[in-house]
Amino acid sequence: MLYFDLAVVTELVEAEGATGIEVVRPAVSDRVLATRFAALFGSIIDKAPDPLLLEESLLRLIMRISRYYGLRPPPGSERSAPVKKALARLDGDAASPIGLNDLAELAGLSRFQLLRVFVREVGATPHAYLVQRRVHLACRLLAGGRPVVEAAMDAGFADQSHLTRAFVRQFGVTPGRYVAARA
């Protein structure tokens, strides 16, 4: 298992001209990706790592993830005002509960209209996006030393098991293992 610093990955991706990319399915079955991961891991654990091979392996892995598993807005498209309003609410207060009806009212659309436009422009449903935001919030809380159960509650999850299920779907590991790996 390798953990990448988000700032480093963002810098690498943006240096290649891509912006606004977000990975929402970190656990995938992809032979090419597995091969690239194995090459990177092999470079890292080598007794005398070759810096050029290490950097190349990292970039090839990140490029594959970005290209095939990154969500990005369509080129040249600006998010609509209703979606911007919905995103602002979800990003601004991910821990607080909100219903689709409330989100649609805030955006000035019907629930069906909001759902269609949100999925088209964001690439995920409002609920999936909110869960992703909550997982990232919990991740920051855990990195700051908060116990798992408190991070779950403070991030808006019903309980620790709810966070664990979402965390595993998002990162492929439990919150406890994530905390242990950071130690």
**Mean pLDDT on 102-112:** 94
131 falls within a domain = yes
Residue 89 sits in the same domain as residue 149 = yes
Residue 86 sits in the same domain as residue 65 = no
* pLDDT per position as a tens digit, 118-140: 988 887 889 989 999 999 999 99
Domain termination residue (choose one: 29, 50, 71): 71
Residue entry with tokens 């979606």: 83
Residue 93 sits in the same domain as residue 142 = yes
107 falls within a domain = yes
- The total domain count for the chain is 2
Residue entry with tokens 């950097």: 55
- Residue 116's domain is classified under what CATH number? 1.10.10.60
Whether residue 78 contacts residue 84, with contact meaning beta carbons closer than 8 Å, is answered with no
Residue 30 sits in the same domain as residue 47 = yes
> Which of the four pLDDT bands, split at 50, 70 and 90, describes residue 49?
confident
Residue 46 sits in the same domain as residue 114 = no
Give the length of the chain: 183
Residue 165: per-residue pLDDT: 93
* pLDDT per position as a tens digit, 15-46: 766 666 666 555 678 899 889 889 889 888 88
- Domain hosting 59: range is 6-71
What is the phi/psi pair of residue 168, to 5°?
-65, -40
Residue 38 sits in the same domain as residue 105 = no
C-alpha to C-alpha distance for 76 and 178, rounded to whole angstroms: 37
Residue 94 sits in the same domain as residue 144 = yes
179 falls within a domain = yes
